[in-house]
Amino acid sequence: MSNQPYEGYDESYDPYAQQRQQPQQAQAWPGHQQAYDDPQAAQQYTQQWHGQTWDTQVQRTRPSASDLAYFPPQNYQAAQQGHDPSAQPPRPEVPEAQASAGEGYGPPSLAGNARITDAQRARLEGRSPIIEPGMQPAGLTAVLALLLSVTAQVGSYALVVPLVVLQAVTAAGWFRLNGMWPARQGIALAFAGALVADVALLAAGRENGPAAILGTLGVWVLLSLVMQLRSHADPDTRITSLMATVASAALAIVAAGHLAADPDAVTVGAAAVAVAILARALPLPTVASVVVSLLAAAGAGIAVGGMTGMGAKGALLGAGAAVCALIGHRVASYDYPSRFVHFTAGVALPLAAAAPAVYLLGRALV
């Protein structure tokens, strides 16, 4: 842009015209010329900054040996050769002794790995999580069933003796089958419920058997709830304990159905369970073993039924009791149980599960 005045411009009316015509000079403060002549005097008129400043030079310190101890040794050979985007980072080398220690397991760590159950490991490996109790628990089941079968013909008070043993083993075996051991309070509560049901049946008689069993079961469910409400465990543990206690008490109390059933039905049904469990323990394929067990139970029902007066009806009663017994046997075989489970739940669950069938079929057939 031009600094020339425009046409018709009159300088007489412009008070700054003379200043533009004169060369501009910097206005100096007093002593300005002296400042140029005397350097020490110039510092008097120079602004000084006395605040904190940052040091722009970084002091490089060499790390100590203790600091380097926290870092794993690195391989800088790849970095010296050049960075290759397609190259994968080197994997840590595992010693041969460690690699051969356990195939399928990762290297040891301080945090550890979450433990999986034997049943979960069996499923991952493609194996069945079922281990059947075997011949020895089956023999104990047969002995206890024969005791029930014989004492049922003697009288109710004689039948109570093997029945109490059955109920005690049922209460203890169910808790161990669920991985809860020791569980003294739950076992004691379930066994106490079974004893109360037995006393109620002896007092009320067989005709009032369902009322005595169901009434006791209802009361014991409430007692189990109260016991768990007083517990100081975490909610998940209390729910698991409540379910185990209720189920154990229910099985032990329902086993009293042998005491409520007709004596002839108990004799036939218990004998059929003994034969079925022994046949199930034979080294046969699962399907063939189940078929053989049911046929053997039906045959035992016919044979014992002929001695008690039931006749051919004993075949249906024996087959029905055997079906429930095999279900209990299957439950006791689940989740890789221990030897203690086999000699408690494996012995008692077949007879406890057969009690409702013995009672119902006995009332219908006798």
Residue 85: predicted pLDDT: 52
Angle CA(338)–CA(339)–CA(344) in degrees, nearest 5?
Answer: 100
Angle CA(160)–CA(161)–CA(167) in degrees, nearest 5?
Answer: 80
A 10 A CB-CB count for 38 gives: 12
Compute the chain's Rg from CA coordinates: 46
Residue 94: predicted pLDDT: 47
**Cα-Cα-Cα-Cα dihedral sign, residues 236, 242, 245, 251:** negative
DSSP assignment of 128-188, as one string?
-SB----HHHHHHHHHHHHHHHHHHHH-HHHHHHHHHHHHHHHHHHHHHHTT----HHHHH
> d(Cα 213, Cα 15) in Å, to the nearest integer?
122
The contacts found for 143-147 with CB under 8 angstroms, 24 or more apart, are: 143/274, 144/347, 144/348, 144/351, 145/270, 145/271, 145/273, 145/274, 145/277, 145/351, 146/270, 146/271, 146/274
> d(Cα 170, Cα 258) in Å, to the nearest integer?
14
Q: Verify cis geometry, omega within 30 degrees of 0, for the bond prior to 182.
A: yes
Taking only the tens of pLDDT, the chain with its 366 residues reads 555 555 555 555 555 555 555 554 444 445 445 544 555 555 555 555 454 444 444 455 555 555 544 445 555 454 455 555 555 555 555 455 444 444 444 444 444 445 565 666 767 777 777 788 889 999 999 999 999 999 999 999 999 999 999 999 999 888 888 777 667 888 899 999 999 999 999 999 888 989 999 999 999 999 988 888 887 777 777 888 888 899 999 999 999 999 999 999 999 999 999 999 999 999 999 899 999 999 999 999 999 998 888 888 899 999 999 999 999 999 988 866 677 888 888 999 999 999 999 999 998 887
For residue 334, the SS3 value is: strand
Q: What are phi and psi of 83, to 5 degrees?
A: -85, 125
Residue 26: predicted pLDDT: 45
Q: What are phi and psi of 334, to 5 degrees?
A: -90, 150
**Contact status, residue 345 vs residue 173, Cβ threshold 8 Å:** yes
- Residue where the block lists tokens 């209460």: 171
